[in-house]
Chains A and B, each alone.
Chain A
Amino acid sequence: MSSQFQVVGTRPVRHDGADKVTGRALYGADIQLAGLIHGFVLRSPHAHARIKRIDTSKAEAFPGVKAVITAADFPVTPDRIVDLGEGDTPLSYVRGNMLASGKVLYKGHAVAAVAATNVHIAEEAASLIEVEYEPLPCVLTAPDAMKDGAPILHDDLRMKELGEATDKPGNVAEHFRHVKGAVEDGFQLADKIIEREFSTATVHQGYIEPHNATALWNNDGRVLVWCSTQGSFVVRDVTACVLDLPVSQVKVTPMEIGGGFGGKIPVYLEPVAALLSKKSGRPVKIVMPRQAVLEATGPTPGSSIKVKIGATKDGRFTAAQATLAYEAGAYPGSMVGPGAMCVFAAYDIDHITIDGYDVCVNKPSTAAYRAPGASNAAFATESVVDELAETLGIDPIELRLRNAAKEGTRRADGPKYRKIGCVEVLEAMKNHPHYKAPLEGPNRGRGVAVGFWFNVGLPSSVNIAVNADGTVNLVEGSTDIGGTRTSIAMQAAEVLGLPAESVLPSVVDTDSIGFTAVTGGSRTTFATGWAAHDAAQDVVRQIKERAAALWETTADKVKHSRGVYSCNGKSATFAELAAKLGETGGPVVGRAAINPRGVGGSFSGVITDVEVDPDTGKTTILRFTSFQDAGRAIHPSYVEGQMQGGSVQGIGWALNEEYYMSADGVMQNSSLLDYRMPTSLDLPMIDTHIVEVPNPAHPFGVRGVGEANIVPPPAAIANAIYRAAGVRMRRLPMNPPAVMEAVWRKP
């Protein structure tokens, strides 16, 4: 592969590196504007309550206060169903999560907002807002919320069942089913069947930068927004929709982003800041306190999952069945859909039935989190597969290989795989020195697991302008949460035959580039990279025309190879031709606006060694190797970085992270001290092994790599704990007290 590419597969310094390491990069909270004032959001102390009355008069009269708003300040429009990139939702739910009206549905739910000359005044004034609540009983888990007689969050919610609207009220927004073959027949063929129940706690993405938004409702009627988001066009469209404005009236400038992982897709603050700006006539900045980030932005759902798998003596899976109930939080839309698509995605099984339930509970409305829904599901499946391997006496990787999904395997939810790398990932695991290394010492164990996540296409736009010095400016709309500026620029550089450093990428505002969908679904290097490839080809085509003009020939006679253009013995470099654009017809701008298909999902795997302290139940990760099919690693260091990041988040999810709720629905650990994400002292070096099974549909073979890496860690760690301590942990997190208690109760 070495000579196939010049830029792709190398490791240049990232274009935003200097700004980031010197602290010059500008984040949302850095925004300063003339006349800027500061907003503070008043939040509900109750997990579930009716709002009987809100009196803002004392806050309005407080010196320094410039505006106070509640849900009553939203424009009055009839409720309707809107699709803002995350499926159909009533507009009232979208607005309701920004500022509650009628009821509060979780502790921390926004109720009102104040803008004042400084944030301390705003905060104090907010405490003067009188809200009269009628507290209601709350319900905090999916199994409880599905019971008859459970407190109901939305009186107007009716369950959608197996694709049909019903008139069933309750907390279950949807029940769906995927069927492949006849599952009961499949279980008849099995020699061994294992069925287990699992549950996972609500966890947060844990990005370090809190949500923030600055908005100016300008005198010309346009709303200008600066914020931290994974999708500037999402913010534009949601803000416009909620404020009943045409999209062109909102301009969103995405600032640098200090982490998102899916959690910076939903919009919380921007319309609120805009309404405060409209009322005060001043630009308004809101920065969420950490407690609000944990209590009121979307974590990933807690879940209850049942998985049953049957296998023959020689390790062939005959049937699999799963029931997944995911907590949506306050509004419908948990990640049970993708969870159900992923639960058996790594296996070729003839008979499958999967039931999914999307259940509202009195917790914050959930959001995407890195392969949303898949880690929960893989925790269940991969634990059962491990147990089957043990029971059947087959090596756990070998058992997976015997059943691995391949090109042509049809998933239970419908699609047939094109070329995929499941087998290749498993082979890489089997042959890795880590798997062959002996693991010695007491209380130690090794676990493995695999996982799958999709990759989405969606629209992306890229413009490339040629500079006279032989460099190009690349303009794109994908906010950069993982080094994508560089991986996109590298794909343009490869086409142009330029070094990566000669492509200068910028992420720009929504006025300055064509529509570009959210940075999510591991799509950015795939789709915006593809657009960069196409835009670069457009540049090459135009440069050929310019060379042809100079050499008095036609463009089709001009050849291009690695940045050198030639025809009939004449040749010129890209830089030489760029210097002559003035005399050959003026500026050259290449462009591409695409909506690509041909996405290729990514498989991942983990081998980990742990040690469990038999006296305290504490698990130490001794060694951890992450495997992933990248299709083609454009910038291997960033692929490795994604694998390491996903692994670390998966380790946190497995061992200590959870929303620890009181019975009345108050998160007890809403600080980074008590919401225990792993620190550097809790982790070994995460080793990585990139597998490359190129995606045939993509010009460079890219598969999305951002997410699949978080899928296997919890299951792999559970399987390792079993071998170290003899207990099967079926509940996340597997924190020291939980492991200790399991050891005590070991039969």
Chain B
Amino acid sequence: MKWFDYSAPSSLSEALKLLRENSQALLLAGGTDLLVQMRAGRKQTDLVIDIKNIAELNQLVLDASGLRLGAAVPCYRIYNHRDIARGYPALSDVASLIGGTQIQGRASIGGNLCNAAPSADAVPLLIALGAICRIAGPSGERTVPVEEFCTAPGKTVLKQGELLVSLHLPPPKPHSGAAYLRFIPRNEMDIAVAGAGVSVELNNGNFQSVRIALGAVAPTPLYAKQAGDSLAGKPVNDACIQTAAELAKAAASPITDMRGTAEYRRHLCAVLTARALKQAIQRAQEAK
């Protein structure tokens, strides 16, 4: 690894100024992706900007408008937060799934998203939950739905000089539940072969609305809109769940690599979607 300068600004404006002045600068939240990539020589820079000292990026606020999750908030703060465990249990699940204890002490959901890996575990769930990205840049702020944030492996909609400030999740609706499941050959420390994040809203034994998103089966985390929409108004039963699972499978366009064949991954999309739907339904039924 080559030497680099390190700067840890304490305000958003300072960080944006550094980014503007230094087109090659790289942002560091937890660094659990970035440092690995730099050590492997896949990324090089003269300046690393640490964003962990910026208040907006470390906020974790839960109120009537939903959840505001600063982009740099580490996973452990999420799963240790009682109200998140109650309101967004699937988000707690994901935060405790990424890496292991040491990684969770540093790794952020914002970093998981900005790294733009097709297999990023938090992203399918964020899509399912309808999260919105708040982005700051030289020309002010803008918002982008999470499903539009990643554009290719390692690529996002962020333009030169922009950074992700926070993620906004709408407040949980009554009779709703969400879940994320991934398949890994081991039981920890592994990259998803496939993943499925779902959220469901129920109404008198029927699905009101459903969002389904998939991980690791396309160049970016994938919003399987048709699969979720197919359930709206349908009764909660195995046949409907299976139909949605098959639609999710059809939406996937995986590759064959060391983690699994395309055929196997497509198959997992259906398995995981159905299993995640069942878990989300159970959560919705238990929710007030």
Contact = CB atoms under 8 A, between A and B. Distances in A.
Q: Bound pair: A and B?
A: yes
Interface of A: 120, 123-124, 615-618, 655-656, 660, 668-669, 673-674, 676, 678-679, 681-682, 735-737, 740-741
Nearest to B39: A289
Interface of B is mostly: loop
Contacts of B271: 615-616
Given A120-B3, A668-B258, A673-B191, A682 B186 contact: yes
Contacts of B190: 673, 676
6 contacts: A616-B268, A660-B258, A668-B258, A674-B191, A737-B193, A737-B261
Interface of B: 1-3, 183, 185-191, 193, 257-261, 263-264, 267-268, 271
Contact of A681 (B2, B183, B185, B186): B186
A375 to B, nearest CB: 20
Contacts of B186: 656, 676, 678-679, 681-682
Contacts of A660: 258
Contacts of A740: 264, 267
A120 B1 contact: yes
Contacts of B187: 679, 681-682
Given A656-B185, A676-B190, 5 more contacts: A616-B271, A673-B191, A679-B186, A682-B186, A736-B260
Contacts of A679: 186-189
Contacts of A656: 185-186
Nearest to B271: A615
Contact of B260 (A668, A674, A737): A737
Nearest to B259: A674
A59 to B, nearest CB: 15
Contact of A673 (B2, B189, B257, B268): B189
Contacts of B260: 736-737
Contacts of A737: 193, 260-261, 264
Contact of A618 (B2, B185, B191, B259): B185
A519 to B, nearest CB: 30
B164 to A, nearest CB: 25
B81 to A, nearest CB: 25
Contacts of B189: 673, 679
A120 B38 CA distance: 12
Nearest to A289: B39
A371 B259 CA distance: 29
A185 to B, nearest CB: 45
A207 to B, nearest CB: 18
Contacts of B185: 618, 655-656, 676, 735-736
Contacts of A736: 183, 185, 193, 260, 264
A655 to B, nearest CB: 8
A616 B2 CA distance: 43
B264 A668 contact: no
B2 A120 contact: yes
A746 to B, nearest CB: 15
Nearest to A123: B1
Contacts of A678: 186
Instruction: State the 9 A-B residue pairs at the shortest beta-carbon distance, nearest first.
Output: A660-B258, A681-B187, A737-B264, A668-B258, A615-B271, A737-B260, A669-B258, A681-B188, A682-B187
A655 B271 CA distance: 21
Residue among B1, B188, B190, B264 with the highest chain A CB neighbour number at 10 A: B264
A618 B190 CA distance: 14
Contacts of A668: 257-258
A215 to B, nearest CB: 25
A682 B190 CA distance: 12
A615 B267 CA distance: 9
Nearest to B2: A124
B258 A616 contact: no
A265 to B, nearest CB: 28
A124 B3 CA distance: 10
B1 to A, nearest CB: 6
A741 B266 CA distance: 13
Nearest to B268: A616
Contacts of A681: 186-188
A616 B263 CA distance: 12
A718 B273 CA distance: 29
A655 B187 CA distance: 13
